[in-house]
Amino acid sequence: MPRRLLNTSRLSLENFRRELASVDALPQLCLLAVISGALTGVIMIVFRELIELGALGLMPEGRTEAFEDLPVMVRMGLPVIAVVLIGLGLGWQKKSARRLGITHVIERFSYHQGVMARDNWFNQWWVGVVSLLGGLSAGREGPAVHLGAGASGWIGQLLKLPHNSLRVLVGCGVAAGISASFNTPIAGVIFAMEVVMMEYTLTGFMPVMLASATGAVITQLHFGSAPAFMLPSVIEPRLLDIPWLLLMALAVGVMAGGFIRLACMGERLVRVPWVLRILIAGVLTAAVALFYPQVQGIGYDSVETILAGQASLDVLLALALGKLILTAVTVACGIPVGIVGPTLVIGAAAGALFGLGASALLPSMAGEPNLYVMMGMAAMMGAVLQAPLAAIMALLELTHSPDIILYGMLTVLSAALTARLVWRTQGFFVMPRQGSTQHPLQQPLMQALSRVGVGAVMDRSVTVTAAVITRERARVILDARPTWLLIHRQGDQQKADREPGKAPLALLAADMARAMEEEDQTGVDQEGDGSINLLEIPGKRLELAPIDLQATLSEAFACLDDQRVDALYVRHITAPMMHRVSGIITREAIENYYH
Q: What percent of the chain has pLDDT over 90?
A: 58
Q: Which residue among 223, 251, 272 closes a domain? A: 223
178 touches 142 (CB < 8 A): no
Last residue of a domain, one of 445, 463, 488: 445
Considering the domain architecture, whether residues 144 and 102 belong to the same structural domain is answered as yes
Three-state DSSP class for residue 84: helix
Q: Does any domain span residue 496?
A: yes
Nearest CA among 405, 406, 347 for reference residue 376 = 347
Same domain? For 398 and 464 the reply is: no
Is 513 part of a structural domain of the chain? yes
Q: What's the rounded mean pLDDT across residues 491-507? A: 59
Judgement on whether residues 55 and 198 belong to the same structural domain of the protein: yes
Residue 249 near residue 414, CB atoms below 8 Å: yes
Inform me whether the pLDDT recorded for 237 exceeds 50.
yes
Q: Looking at the structure, do residues 256 and 157 belong to the same domain, yes or no?
A: no
pLDDT band at 529 (very low <50, low <70, confident <90, very high): low
| Rounded CA Rg of the chain | 29
- Has residue 521 got a pLDDT over 80? no
Mapped onto helix, strand or coil, the DSSP state of residue 469 is: strand
> Within this chain, do residues 316 and 420 fall inside the same structural domain, yes or no?
yes
Q: Do 280 and 368 sit in the same domain of this protein? A: yes
pLDDT score, position 30: 94
Residues pairing with 552 in the sheet: 453
Residues 200, 107 within the same domain: yes
Domain-embedded: residue 33: yes
- Check whether residue 252 and residue 141 sit in a common domain: no
pLDDT tens-digit readout, 83-117: 999 999 999 999 899 999 999 999 999 888 889 99
For residues 433 and 411, membership in a common domain is answered with: yes
Written as one letter, the residue type at 216 is A
From 48-62, 164-178, 373-387, 476-490, the region with the lowest mean pLDDT: 476-490
The angle formed by the CA atoms of residues 335, 336 and 340, to the nearest 5 degrees, is 120
Contact 242, 381 (CB under 8 A): no
Candidates 336, 349, 181; CA nearest to 266 is 336
Q: Is residue 407 a part of any domain in this protein?
A: yes
Asked whether residue 228 is domain-assigned, the answer is no
Q: In whole numbers, what is the pLDDT of the chain averaged over residues?
A: 87
589, part of any domain = yes
pTM metric for this prediction:
0.87
pLDDT at residue 543 is higher than 60: yes
Strands 541-548 and 505-508: antiparallel
484 - beta bridge partners?
A: 462, 508
pLDDT tens, 171-203? 999 999 999 988 889 999 999 999 998 887 777
266 lies in the same domain as 400: yes
- The reported pLDDT for the residue numbered 18 is 85
Structural domain span for residue 582: 453-594
CATH of the domain at 578: 3.10.580
Whichever domain contains 46, its CATH number is 1.10.3080.10
- Count CB-CB contacts under 10 A for residue 178: 31
Measured between alpha carbons, how far is 88 from 125 in angstroms, rounded to an integer? 15
Q: Is residue 232 part of a domain?
A: no
Q: Is the confidence at residue 498, as pLDDT, over 50?
A: no
> What's the residue count for the chain?
595
Q: Residue 88's closest CA among 130, 36, 30?
A: 130
Q: How far apart are CA 585 and CA 339, in angstroms?
A: 43
CB 152 within 8 A of CB 176: yes
Identify the pLDDT of residue 34.
96
Which among 445, 468, 499 is the end of a domain?
A: 445
The domain tally of the chain equals: 3
Same domain for 521 and 503: yes
Eight-state DSSP code of residue 583? E
Assign 268 a pLDDT band (cuts: 50, 70, 90). confident
Among 38-42, 62-66, 329-333, 428-432, which is the least confidently predicted range? 428-432
Claim to verify: residue 424 and residue 536 sit in the same structural domain: no
d(CA 266, CA 282) in angstroms, rounded, equals 16
pLDDT of residue 146: 97
Question: Is position 9 within any domain?
Answer: no
d(CA 110, CA 418): 27
